[in-house]
Structure 1
Amino acid sequence: MELRYLRNFIVVAEELNLTRAAERLFIAQPPLTRQIKQLEEELEVQLFIRKARGLELTQGGTYFLQQARTLLERLEASIEGTRQIAQLRKMVFAIGFVPSVFYGQLPLMVRRLRRNKNLELVLHELKTQEQVAALKSGKIDIGFGRVRIDDPDVEQEVLFNEPLIVALPASHPLTRQAPTMAELAEVPMVIFPAGAGPHFADVVQGLFHRRGLKLQVSQQVNDVQTALSLVASDMGFALVPEQVHKLNREGVEFMPVADEKLSISVIASRRRGETPSAAMRLVNTILAELVENRRSGRYP
């Protein structure tokens, strides 16, 4: 199967119109039509339903579109990694992360990895669900997030559980003593990140919903830094991982929750069943040490 057939199929599936797809690919329509037909014959599957106004993907076509995209993304990541290795004579290791995990010990891991002159680190800020897709495509080698994702191709390891604390405007009445969950539910809340879940915002909202408390969400933003800016602007409160208090944001008071011990996991995601590379073995060794430091209280 030729790779250009896959690329052309993706464009046709996105346009659902052979004329527009041919224009986008800068080729004539008849050869594109023949390519799609040959692809269907090779797969022994009908990929499109032909209609008067255009095309419609079959169920098989929809599945094949997802697989084709993943295959090409992985190929492109492999090509890019090969080029970097050839140019730099280094092993490329890519890490995905959600920003809130990098206020704790994980920057120590990155600093130690950067000391290895044979290793080229690449960092990608990605939500946990995006990390799973990036692992499957080969874009990253390991991801650090906060949400459980059920995927047969990815294994997840809970490194440790981190306490959640409350970020409140410095002048807010609830800063006089640690607020309860019920008291917080009476205050507008700033949550992050925005967009389709599952992600940290879903976990936080679930903590209140499971206790029968209804939240007043005033704003949903993309990252913790913006959330803290809105808290400082008296837009409401935010629940944040404990390490975030190291930011010492002006106008924000960090408080524990009075009646609950809330926590959120820090989760490492890796490709399932893959033999660890030398870089991954080094990462795993450093992680084991950092996690032990965290659990025993020996961390900055």
Structure 2
Amino acid sequence: MDYRDWEILKVLYHQKNLTKTARLLFLTQPALTNRLKHMQEELGVKIITRESRGVHFTPQGEYLVHCAEEALAHYQRVKETVKNMSNNESNEVAGTLKLGVSNFFANYELPYILKLFKQQYPHVEFKVVTGWSRDVTQLIHNKDVHISFVRGDYGWRGLSKHQIFEETICIASKDKIDMTDLPRLPRIDYRGDYLLKSVIDHWWAENYAEAPFISIEVDQVDTCKEMVINGLGYGILSSRVVTGIEDLYKINLLDLEGTPILRRTWMYYHKESLEWNVVKAFVHFIENFDWKENG
């Protein structure tokens, strides 16, 4: 079996349809069928069965799909390593940079950053994986990405990090509110990162003896923001989320000493990855980026 066979198995497993798979791989359906037949004969096992609802993989086929994903991922890593070795020799900044990015950073900050970096290094391509900060931290820890951008103070030993910016956490409301009335006012709550939630819950417990009145629950911070803008209740949000919205009443959360509670955004990377020109160039670019001017 070769690279093309592994690719066929992976695509067919996700499509469960021979016609769609052939089209995606730019093969004729008879050519695809013959390739699958050859694989089964070579291995001496039945890989798939054809049913009315599409293709079904046998247990042996399921195992081969798992092997295919590992083989293709390994091949991609080999290609990137060899290409970056070549780049190191020529000092050319090129190749694919894999980034793990928190959802908010991906939506609000990353596109402009990549635009500027691409203008400076046009031969660099990007592969971006987004998610909650906790999951993105795991990606860099496992070396599934070269660099990650994480909101919140997650810590992993052995990783290099650089603080991107810090922001306050604030109560935002369409109308002016009295903080003593907060437990009785409608709150728009959203499913945020668990570290941010723990910070907010700790602040609430220090200041109020009763639970908040959650009137609406949503799963995205942008939805929460829009509901706050439309006067449906108050929200507790990172200040960067509501930057530039002037007609909102905002109060920063303070600790018991009266100091604003801050949320930091970090860039994480492995020090040894700086041996690759593309990673080194991007880390240097971010470290020298003016967040106040471009924020």
The interval holding the TM-score normalised by the smaller chain is 0.5 to 0.7
How much does 1:231 deviate?
A: 1.2
Residues 228-247 of structure 1: pairs in structure 2 closer than 5 A: 228-245=225-242, 247=243
Q: Indicate how the Cα distance of structure 1 residues 114 and 230 shifts in structure 2: closer, same or farther if over 3 A, else same.
A: same
**C-alpha distance in 2, partners of 1:205/1:185?**
20
Q: Indicate how the Cα distance of structure 1 residues 169 and 91 shifts in structure 2: closer, same or farther if over 3 A, else same.
A: same
TM-score by length of 2: 0.58
Check conservation: 2:136, 2:148, Cα contact below 8 A.
Answer: no
1:206 maps to which residue? Answer: 198
Q: Are residue 55 (structure 1) and residue 57 (structure 2) matched? A: yes
State the one-letter code of the partner of 1:239.
I
State the one-letter code of the partner of 1:256.
N
Unaligned runs of 5+ in 2: 23-28, 85-91, 206-210
How much does 1:29 deviate?
A: 3.9
Q: Are residue 144 (structure 1) and residue 149 (structure 2) matched? A: yes
State the one-letter code of the partner of 2:244.
N
Check conservation: 1:162, 1:241, Cα contact below 8 A.
Answer: no
Q: Indicate how the Cα distance of structure 1 residues 55 and 122 shifts in structure 2: closer, same or farther if over 3 A, else same.
A: closer
How much does 1:137 deviate?
A: 9.8
Which one has a bigger Cα radius of gyration?
Answer: 2
**C-alpha distance in 1, partners of 2:114/2:13?**
40
Alignment equivalent of 2:248, drawn from 248, 252, 274? 252
Check conservation: 1:99, 1:125, Cα contact below 8 A.
Answer: no
1:274 maps to which residue? Answer: 273
Q: Percent identity?
A: 8
State the one-letter code of the partner of 1:146.
R
**C-alpha distance in 2, partners of 1:147/1:36?**
50
**C-alpha distance in 1, partners of 2:109/2:195?**
22
Aligned length: 264
How much does 1:236 deviate?
A: 3.2
Check conservation: 2:273, 2:279, Cα contact below 8 A.
Answer: no
How much does 1:9 deviate?
A: 1.2
How much does 1:208 deviate?
A: 4.6
How much does 1:76 deviate?
A: 9.6
Check conservation: 2:140, 2:269, Cα contact below 8 A.
Answer: no
CA RMSD, Structure 1 to Structure 2 (Å): 5.5
Unaligned runs of 5+ in 1: 82-88, 193-199
**Secondary structure in 2 matching 1:230:** helix
2:88 maps to which residue? Answer: none
